[in-house]
């Protein structure tokens, strides 16, 4: 499918983005300085400060109605409205998040995570890309839209919903959406929390995986035991945990949880062919962004399918027993592991939680107490309607910003609360984001490419104009 894109031009949107870039980058850096780590209670005051910062910027930009939503079980979110003034205008909700991943392993950061700076066109800092950079695009993008169109209000009814718990799995997103449902009537949801295929290859995301996250706790002896006096005669919780974790995959790296694949929808032959045709350099990917030695995953599927179209079981952390210097000859009391499962097709988070819980309990042997604690209710997979006019408009906007008429459609391996968003708001959903694998978004040394962020700002400005031209009727 080809999208007709106007020839590359030096548009007024681009000129406006260029004019505002310097000041905007200062603002973004000030925001990145706030360590809004939602996973860590010690940083919850920073999450609140980050919400207040964004609210202030939205007000300064001209949004007539801006609220910090801090009276629910959720961490502070921001909700802002700027109506177009035209009752027939397209109503858009922009979604993203202002919380960031933890920055642990600080010794592995070349630049301190919360002291952002720009070196050779790269903005370094936790949140520079995910998601402060991609949400900030809407600040400069809106200015460019107003400047390019000569308007004093956006050409679409604009609502921004920026939550503060996405990096913790959006545990309260449903409650948040329901509490403010009356302010979220929309014809389209625009999510800015994804990426493009590559710096030279713009693309829109057309699918995200679902996610459930849990923690397994295996309890063995009630006290650390001398491994000489007791070892070999009582269950060792680390050995039992290892056994459970090893059983999660079979030798072909299929997930071995009974029933796990029941609701997976396999890609069609045409989809597989399209994926295979993408300009993907696996070798460069492995040694570059994947920083690994060999691809390794579920037998029968390619790397791009493994990260986009297939569900996974991943172990994110493990701990137990003695981890200090030297050795300590104990049978320890406890062992723990953190797990996440990525979901696709019609896999349902609650069903997967139950299947995994059952599997873990069935795999555990007598003599240890095994519990699995699920973090919230998880999120379902989401798929974009690739033929919807809003999808086409988004590709066109991105193509204009990137001076190309080739804008790919790809599946993203990550997860967010998009299924909840689309479900509660009851509107189609598109993704507009410019992250790349080079951004190392959940790792030490997160960064963002400034030229790509500015292209993202420009695409935002184009999108509001494109949507206004389509009109509400054009989206039906």
Measured CA to CA, the distance from residue 112 to residue 434 in angstroms comes to 23
Site for a second copy contains 266 (CB under 8 A): no
Look at residues 108, 106, 102, 446 and name the one whose alpha carbon lies nearest to residue 289.
446
Whole-number minimum distance, CB 472 to a second copy, in Å? 33
CA atoms within 13 A on the CB side of 216: 33
Alpha helices (runs of H) in 364-412, residue ranges in sequence order: 389-402
Q: Which of 1, 88, 233, 473 binds a second copy (CB under 8 A)?
A: 233
CA 226 remoteness from chain centre: 45
Q: Which stretch binds a second copy (CB under 8 A): 78-86, 181-189, 213-221, 397-405?
A: 213-221
Q: Which stretch binds a second copy (CB under 8 A): 10-18, 24-32, 242-250, 272-280?
A: 242-250
Q: Which of 110, 229, 268, 387 binds a second copy (CB under 8 A)?
A: 229
Whole-number minimum distance, CB 6 to a second copy, in Å? 31
Q: Which stretch binds a second copy (CB under 8 A): 136-144, 368-376, 391-399, 458-466?
A: 368-376
Site for a second copy contains 324 (CB under 8 A): yes
CA angle 361, 362, 364 (to 5 degrees): 65
Site for a second copy contains 169 (CB under 8 A): yes
Q: What is the CA radius of gyration of the chain?
A: 23
Measured CA to CA, the distance from residue 435 to residue 410 in angstroms comes to 13
Q: How far apart, in Å, are the Cα atoms of 47 and each of 79, 134, 180, 189, 431?
A: 15, 17, 20, 24, 24
The strand pair at 330-331 and 225-226 is best described as antiparallel
Q: Which stretch binds a second copy (CB under 8 A): 85-93, 144-152, 153-161, 328-336?
A: 328-336
Measured CA to CA, the distance from residue 128 to residue 332 in angstroms comes to 41
Site for a second copy contains 279 (CB under 8 A): no
Whole-number minimum distance, CB 28 to a second copy, in Å? 21
Site for a second copy contains 110 (CB under 8 A): no
Q: Number of residues in contact with a second copy, rule: CB under 8 A?
A: 102
C-beta of residue 411 within 8 angstroms of C-beta of residue 205: yes
Measured CA to CA, the distance from residue 216 to residue 258 in angstroms comes to 18
Look at residues 157, 129, 130, 162 and name the one whose alpha carbon lies nearest to residue 57.
162
Site for a second copy contains 199 (CB under 8 A): no
CA 87 remoteness from chain centre: 33
Q: Which of 18, 174, 290, 438 binds a second copy (CB under 8 A)?
A: 290
- State the helix-helix crossing angle for 132-149 and 12-32, rounded to 10 degrees: 150
Residues 55-94 that bind a second copy (CB under 8 A): none
Residue 46 or 412 with smaller CB distance to a second copy: 412
Residue 60 or 265 with smaller CB distance to a second copy: 265
Q: Which of 215, 358, 403, 405 binds a second copy (CB under 8 A)?
A: 215
Site for a second copy contains 336 (CB under 8 A): yes
Q: To which residue do tokens 């260029």 refer?
A: 18
Residues 369-388 that bind a second copy (CB under 8 A): 369, 375
Measured CA to CA, the distance from residue 166 to residue 332 in angstroms comes to 34
Site for a second copy contains 201 (CB under 8 A): no
Whole-number minimum distance, CB 245 to a second copy, in Å? 4
Site for a second copy contains 443 (CB under 8 A): yes
Q: Which of 67, 151, 243, 388 binds a second copy (CB under 8 A)?
A: 243
Q: Which of 6, 112, 228, 451 binds a second copy (CB under 8 A)?
A: 228
Q: Which of 59, 361, 365, 406 binds a second copy (CB under 8 A)?
A: 365
């Amino acid at each position: 499918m080809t999208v007709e894109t106007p020839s590359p031009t030096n548009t007024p949107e681009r000129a406006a983005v260029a004019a505002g870039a310097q000041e905007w980058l200062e603002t973004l850096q000030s925001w990145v300085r706030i360590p809004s780590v939602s996973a860590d209670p010690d940083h919850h005051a920073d999450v609140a400060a980050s919400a207040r910062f964004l609210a202030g910027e939205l007000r300064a930009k001209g949004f007539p109605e801006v609220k910090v939503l801090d009276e629910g079980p959720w961490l502070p979110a921001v909700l802002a409205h700027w109506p177009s003034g035209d009752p027939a205008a397209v109503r858009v909700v922009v979604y993203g998040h202002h919380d960031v991943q933890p920055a642990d392993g600080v010794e592995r950061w070349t630049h301190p995570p919360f002291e952002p700076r720009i070196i050779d066109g790269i903005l370094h800092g936790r949140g520079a890309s995910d998601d402060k950079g991609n949400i900030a695009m809407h600040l400069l993008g809106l200015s460019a839209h107003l400047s390019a169109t000569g308007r004093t209000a956006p050409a679409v009814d604009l609502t921004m919903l920026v939550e503060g718990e996405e990096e913790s799995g959006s545990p309260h997103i449903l409650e948040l959406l329901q509490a403010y449902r009356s302010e979220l009537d929309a014809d389209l949801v625009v999510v800015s929390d994804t990426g493009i295929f590559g710096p030279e290859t713009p693309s829109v995301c057309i699918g995200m995986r679902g996610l459930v996250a849990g923690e397994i706790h295996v309890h063995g002896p009630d006290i650390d035991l001398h491994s000489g006096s007791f070892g070999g005669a009582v269950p060792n919780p680390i050995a039992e945990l290892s056994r459970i974790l090893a059983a999660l995959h079979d030798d072909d790296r299929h997930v071995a949880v009974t029933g796990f694949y029941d609701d997976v929808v396999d890609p069609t032959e045409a989809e597989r062919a399209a994926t295979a045709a993408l300009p993907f350099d696996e070798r460069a990917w492995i040694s570059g962004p994947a920083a690994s030695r060999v691809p390794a995953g579920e037998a029968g599927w390619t790397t791009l399918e493994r990260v986009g179209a297939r569900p996974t079981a991943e172990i994110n952390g493990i701990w137990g027993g003695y981890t200090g210097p030297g050795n300590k000859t104990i049978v320890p009391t406890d062992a723990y592991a953190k797990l996440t499962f990525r979901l696709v097709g019609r896999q349902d988070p609650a069903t997967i939680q139950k299947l995994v819980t059952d599997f873990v309990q069935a795999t555990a042997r007598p003599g240890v107490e095994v519990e699995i604690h699920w973090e919230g209710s998880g999120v379902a997979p989401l798929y974009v309607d690739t033929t919807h006019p809003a999808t086409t408009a988004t590709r066109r906007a991105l193509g204009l910003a990137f001076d190309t008429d080739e804008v790919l459609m790809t599946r993203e391996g990550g997860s967010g609360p998009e299924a909840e968003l689309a479900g509660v708001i009851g509107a189609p959903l598109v993704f507009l984001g410019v992250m790349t694998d080079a951004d190392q978004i959940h790792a030490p040394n997160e960064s963002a490419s400034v030229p790509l962020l500015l292209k993202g700002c420009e695409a935002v400005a184009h999108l509001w104009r494109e949507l206004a031209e389509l009109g509400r009727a054009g989206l039906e």
